[in-house]
Every structure is written in structure tokens, then in C-alpha cells.
């Protein structure tokens, strides 16, 4: 979105009163101009007919050439690459692997800073409201990362570095880490399945991830489309 940072009156005067005598066209120029306009409209219409619509999965998993952050595995969706610099910074502040942070953001919000779950989890890392201090804005990315990644670090430390258990703790609460998997909630089991698979591929520096593509097809694509629209 284009923004104007100058004086508001000067802006509207520039819009309403252009230089060089206003906006009237010579009658001699109108017919050729109409031909050009109609040609552009027709070409755009034909291009739209000839271009097949992209599915949600194709949209979310499509890579922008050269868009991947150098410190992240190239498998993440463009909506995660968008936050690449911040992910690396936040990971360093919390002593975490950037690819682990990117994996959590991928499956939590796909990079949507205004994401809100039915359970009330908020923002990029889907942090529950009770983790924030009074006066904090939970939608502010740096604040959301501070609280979310602090909990992720606690989960990883409690799991003695076992990232699979850390995913379980992040989703189901630190208390689930010592429990047998059969006692985990179904949502936590799914979360660990998605997170551990994607992160394992990221650790290998893979350019794609079958587990990530599976997550996109399971419903993640719509989440990424929403994130893309808000970035």
C-alpha cells in the first residue's frame, strides 16, 4: 500500500490540481486513446482466460525465486521467508535454532501476525493471553516472539534438547513432556507429527518437505493465504 508522509493539504492539492494546465484531453487524442485502452482490456481478459487458477496449496507452497533467507532451510513457504531476518534475530536472543523457530511459526500461523485461534491463542506464535504481562500488545511481533519463544526454550530445556518432545510441550503444555505419547491429546499428536517432520527436513537443508506439503493440503494452505493477504 502506498502511503503519503507529507502535508495533507499539499497532497490533495497535488492530486486535484496537477501541473501543466489540468487534466483535459485534446479531442484529437481521444479516439487513439480509446483504442489503446480497449486493447489493454482485451489483452488482460484473454490472459485471464488462458491462465489456469492456482489452488490454495500451489499458492502457499510456491517459491519466489531468490526469496529464501540464507539462514533458513529453503523449504519454508514465502510467508515465513517474509520474517526471515526477525526469525534469525529472535532465535539468537533465545538460544534457539532459526529453523526450529521457523517451523513453529509455519504451523502456528504461517506468518500471520494477526492470527487468532478458536481457543484464544494470538499472533505469530499463537501465544495464549495469560503468558503476556499487563500492558503488552500480544499482536506486536517482537512481543509475541518474546513470550512464545521463551516458552519454546523452556519446553526444549525440559525435554533435554529432544525437539520432538519440545513440540509436544509447546502445544500441550510443559506437563505433557514426561507423559507417554498415548496420554497426549490428539491435537498434540498431530502437532508433533507436523512439526517434527518439517523440522527434520529443515535440519537436512532440504529444498522441499513432503510433510510440509501434507500440512498444506490438510488445511495449512488456507492459513498461509490469509497470512499472505495480511503481510
Closest CA to 193 of 224, 171, 221: 171
Cα dihedral 188, 191, 192, 198, rounded to 10, equals 180
Chain segment 196-214, per-residue pLDDT in tens: 999 999 999 999 999 999 9
Which pLDDT does position 69 carry in this prediction?
86
Q: Where are the domains of the chain?
A: 8-50, 56-230
* DSSP category for residue 125: T
Query: Average pLDDT, whole number, for the chain?
Result: 80
The closest alpha carbon to 227, from 79, 78, 126, belongs to 79
Q: Which residue in the list 8, 10, 13, 108 is annotated as catalytic? A: 108
Model confidence at 19: pLDDT above 80: no
Q: What's the CATH architecture for 56-230?
A: Orthogonal Bundle (1.10)
Residue 108 bears catalytic tag: yes
CA distance 103 to 198: 7
Nearest-angstrom CA–CA distance, 48 and 50: 5
pLDDT digit string (tens) for 52-106? 333 334 334 444 344 578 899 999 999 999 999 999 999 999 999 999 999 999 9
Amino acid at each position: 500500500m502506498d502511503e503519503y508522509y507529507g502535508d495533507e493539504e499539499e497532497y490533495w492539492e497535488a492530486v486535484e490540481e496537477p501541473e501543466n494546465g489540468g487534466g483535459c484531453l485534446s479531442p484529437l487524442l481521444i479516439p487513439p486513446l480509446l483504442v489503446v485502452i480497449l486493447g489493454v482490456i482485451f489483452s488482460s481478459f484473454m490472459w485471464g482466460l488462458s491462465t489456469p487458477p492456482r489452488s490454495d496449496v500451489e499458492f502457499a507452497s510456491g517459491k519466489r525465486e531468490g526469496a529464501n533467507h540464507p539462514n533458513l532451510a529453503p523449504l519454508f513457504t514465502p510467508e515465513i521467508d517474509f520474517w526471515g531476518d526477525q526469525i534469525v534475530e529472535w532465535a539468537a536472543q533465545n538460544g534457539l535454532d532459526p529453523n526450529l523457530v521457523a517451523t513453529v511459526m509455519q504451523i502456528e500461523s504461517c506468518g500471520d501476525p494477526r492470527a487468532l485461534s478458536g481457543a484464544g491463542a494470538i499472533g505469530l506464535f499463537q501465544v495464549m493471553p495469560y503468558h503476556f504481562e499487563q500492558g503488552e500488545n500480544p499482536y506486536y511481533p517482537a512481543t509475541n516472539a518474546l513470550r512464545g519463544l521463551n516458552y519454546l526454550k523452556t519446553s526444549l530445556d525440559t525435554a533435554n534438547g529432544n525437539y520432538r518432545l519440545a513440540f509436544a510441550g509447546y502445544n500441550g503444555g510443559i506437563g505433557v513432556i514426561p507423559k507417554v505419547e498415548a496420554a497426549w491429546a490428539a491435537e498434540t499428536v498431530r502437532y508433533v507429527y507436523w512439526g517434527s517432520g518439517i523440522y527434520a527436513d529443515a535440519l537436512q537443508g532440504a529444498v522441499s518437505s513432503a510433510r510440509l506439503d501434507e500440512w498444506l493440503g490438510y488445511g495449512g494452505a488456507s492459513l498461509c493465504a490469509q497470512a499472505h493477504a495480511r503481510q
